[in-house]
A = this chain, B = another copy of it.
Amino acid sequence: MEPKIENIQSKSGKEKLRFIPLGGNGLVTKNMFVYESENDIVIIDCGMGFPEETMFGVDMVIPDINYLRDKKHKIRGILITHGHEDHIGALPFILPEINVPVFATRLTAGLINVRLKERDIQRMVKVNVINPGQKVSLGSFWAEAFRVSHSIPDSVGYALHTPLGTIIHTGDYKFDMTPVDEKPTDTAKLAELGRRGVLALMSDSLRSEKLGFTLSESLIEPKFEEAMEDAPGRVMVTTFSSNISRIKQAIEASRKFGRKVAIVGRSMESNLFVARDLGYIKFPPEILVRLENIEKIPPEKLTLIVAGSQAQSGSALTRIANGAHRFVSIRPGDLVIFSADPIPGHQDPVHTVVDNLTRLGARVIYSDITDEFHVSGHGAQAELMLMLNLTKPKYLVPISGMYRQMKKFVDLAANAGIEPRNAFILEEGDVLEFGSQGAKVDGQIETDNVMVDGLGVGDVGDVVLRDRRVLAEEGIVVVIVTVNRSNGQVVGEPDIVSRGFVYMKEAEPLISEMKELVQKAVPVGKKVSDWHFIREKIMENLEKFLFEKTQRRPMVLPVVVEV
């Protein structure tokens, strides 16, 4: 039965709807958004985030679902907008705990299944494939996906029909008028929703700092063609492994100039094969060449599509740049094209990789030299205004941007008729409540950084991280005091070991002085009962002494061993 939107309009006037970003806002990545009515919860996206620079040793962060733990019975499903890691990457960690139906378009579902398989939980979970236009009933909500263009095919936003009205949640989008998959953002649908009345627009805001329209993705292919025609040798294209449209264009251009294509990097290969198997990229199988065989192909007849555009350590490109890749080594005549801008935090490593590739003799094209080989997947200012003009929402909530970007969108929206009091900049955990009286921020739920480190999820907390920071900057000094259990007296002299502080072998005098200081802190020939006090005193004395001597503050760890 096709639901009528009118049927789910508020009847009593007492309904409330809460919207809570558990990530995305203020961070861009780690996207997860909660829509909650009295009896139902619908979640949109479930992505991973990158660790902050000071989260040493942390592999990724995922949304904190603590708020949902006692509300699992209310959750009707998780709607996914597209297949990028920052929108799907936390599913393998969260689904085992909250096992609810997942809804995604076909390619997105394919990419999710790859991630679930990696963690061996694909059988636990059912990913429901939906099509744009299809309506999904989720308790008192109805959801309806609409197409948007982004840097990966099959991206959608959702119209969420709620008792209080329709909410449009865009996901990441741009208005690409000539997208590579020939499926532009569904302006007609957005206009229709706008005409019927939109309560609130939750919109991507990442590129609100940039004027005009973002360029079309399809402008890249002719640039690849020029480069491949002119290059005297191999062409290596590096981009995000998830940028299916870009990979498609690199393959198309190669084909045009009779170049074979080798894929370098596991994630890139698995994404490409999913897209090919589901029909999102078509190419004759013989165009692909296995890495083991690339030396048999004349250089001017070969393209390599290489993972690692952000110079991630251990990635294919970084290994190539370090001369440490098993199958690919750079030689003069090679052309390397960065078809991706460095994302925040990756500028330095990318520059190091460019330097190393240049040293090895490659010609390298990167974003400091030209902007011809990359366009963003996000809409700029004019596109955000177009979205507002189409949907005509009562309320605006920028999502998936840093604070400055969400604020900028709100400032721009003021010129498009959205009064500042109807626009809300929400940070992670902020609760926006819609009721018959309108919308207001109604407090904040507590959220933590949930960190994944190796096999541990959430077991690295603030204490461990704080210790890692001190250890990183200043090292550690371990002081071992041995005590006779029977009489409580100290046995022998203290042992001192340090790591990451000074080079021990050259610090003999410093260590002797430390030993003396420790001995002074421990009463000789007396039974000690309060070791806690003595430990504190050792720490205090040594920290003060070491700071005076070296202006450094290593972690001092006194250990009392009873024998």
User: Is A559's CB under 8 angstroms from B497's CB?
Assistant: yes
Bound Cα distance A56, B472 (Å): 6
- Residues of B within 8 Å of A347, CB to CB, are 344-345, 347
Bound Cα distance A26, B358 (Å): 12
User: Is B501's CB under 8 angstroms from A404's CB?
Assistant: no
- Residues of B within 8 Å of A482, CB to CB, are 482, 561, 563
Q: How far is the CB of A343 from chain B (nearest CB, A)?
A: 10
| 22 contacts across the A-B interface (CB closer than 8 A) | A57-B475, A57-B500, A344-B351, A355-B402, A358-B407, A454-B552, A455-B550, A455-B551, A459-B502, A459-B506, A464-B500, A464-B502, A468-B472, A468-B475, A471-B499, A478-B557, A478-B559, A480-B561, A482-B563, A495-B559, A497-B559, A499-B557
User: Is B344's CB under 8 angstroms from A345's CB?
Assistant: no
Bound Cα distance A468, B56 (Å): 11
- Is A269 part of the contact surface with B, judged by Cβ < 8 Å? no
- Is A364 part of the contact surface with B, judged by Cβ < 8 Å? yes
Beta-carbon contacts under 8 Å, A346-360 to B = 347-348, 351, 354-356, 358-359
Bound Cα distance A402, B471 (Å): 31
- Is A369 part of the contact surface with B, judged by Cβ < 8 Å? yes
Beta-carbon contacts under 8 Å, A201-258 to B = 209
Q: How far is the CB of A81 from chain B (nearest CB, A)?
A: 24
User: Is B468's CB under 8 angstroms from A500's CB?
Assistant: yes
- Is A279 part of the contact surface with B, judged by Cβ < 8 Å? no
- Is A6 part of the contact surface with B, judged by Cβ < 8 Å? no
Bound Cα distance A522, B57 (Å): 31
Give chain A's interface secondary structure class: mixed
User: Is A502's CB under 8 angstroms from B456's CB?
Assistant: yes
Beta-carbon contacts under 8 Å, A407-464 to B = 407, 453-456, 459-461, 463-464
Further pairs besides A56-B473, A456-B502: 9, Cβ < 8 Å: A57-B472, A209-B369, A344-B347, A355-B403, A464-B475, A467-B499, A471-B499, A476-B499, A478-B497
6 closest cross-chain pairs (CB), A and B: A454-B551, A472-B472, A471-B471, A57-B473, A467-B500, A468-B500
Q: Which one of B344, B359, B563 lies within 8 Å of A403 (CB-CB)?
A: B359
- Chain B residue at smallest Cβ distance from A483: B563
- Chain B residue at smallest Cβ distance from A474: B57
Beta-carbon contacts under 8 Å, A494-544 to B = 495, 497, 499-503, 506-507
User: Is A364's CB under 8 angstroms from B404's CB?
Assistant: yes
Bound Cα distance A460, B465 (Å): 23
User: Is B475's CB under 8 angstroms from A467's CB?
Assistant: yes
- Is A371 part of the contact surface with B, judged by Cβ < 8 Å? no
Q: Which one of B355, B461, B503 lies within 8 Å of A464 (CB-CB)?
A: B503
Bound Cα distance A403, B364 (Å): 12
- Residues of B within 8 Å of A364, CB to CB, are 404
Bound Cα distance A26, B471 (Å): 30
Q: How far is the CB of A369 from chain B (nearest CB, A)?
A: 6
Bound Cα distance A557, B471 (Å): 14
Bound Cα distance A469, B473 (Å): 9
- Residues of B within 8 Å of A480, CB to CB, are 480, 559, 561
- Is A62 part of the contact surface with B, judged by Cβ < 8 Å? no
Q: How far is the CB of A67 from chain B (nearest CB, A)?
A: 22
User: Is B497's CB under 8 angstroms from A455's CB?
Assistant: no
- Is A38 part of the contact surface with B, judged by Cβ < 8 Å? no
- Chain B residue at smallest Cβ distance from A559: B497
- Residues of B within 8 Å of A455, CB to CB, are 549-551
Q: How far is the CB of A264 from chain B (nearest CB, A)?
A: 22
User: Is A503's CB under 8 angstroms from B351's CB?
Assistant: no
- Is A2 part of the contact surface with B, judged by Cβ < 8 Å? no
Q: How far is the CB of A95 from chain B (nearest CB, A)?
A: 20
Beta-carbon contacts under 8 Å, A48-67 to B = 53, 56-57
Bound Cα distance A501, B507 (Å): 27
User: Is A552's CB under 8 angstroms from B368's CB?
Assistant: no
- Residues of B within 8 Å of A461, CB to CB, are 503
Given contacts A500-B468, A502-B464, contact A552 B355 (CB under 8 A): no
- Residues of B within 8 Å of A355, CB to CB, are 26, 402-404
- Is A317 part of the contact surface with B, judged by Cβ < 8 Å? no
- Chain B residue at smallest Cβ distance from A370: B209
Given contacts A351-B404, A471-B475, A492-B562, contact A460 B502 (CB under 8 A): yes
- Is A555 part of the contact surface with B, judged by Cβ < 8 Å? yes
Bound Cα distance A476, B472 (Å): 11
- Chain B residue at smallest Cβ distance from A453: B552
Bound Cα distance A453, B502 (Å): 10
User: Is B402's CB under 8 angstroms from A557's CB?
Assistant: no
Bound Cα distance A229, B463 (Å): 49
- Is A8 part of the contact surface with B, judged by Cβ < 8 Å? no
User: Is B557's CB under 8 angstroms from A497's CB?
Assistant: yes
Bound Cα distance A351, B369 (Å): 23
- Residues of B within 8 Å of A356, CB to CB, are 403
- Is A288 part of the contact surface with B, judged by Cβ < 8 Å? no
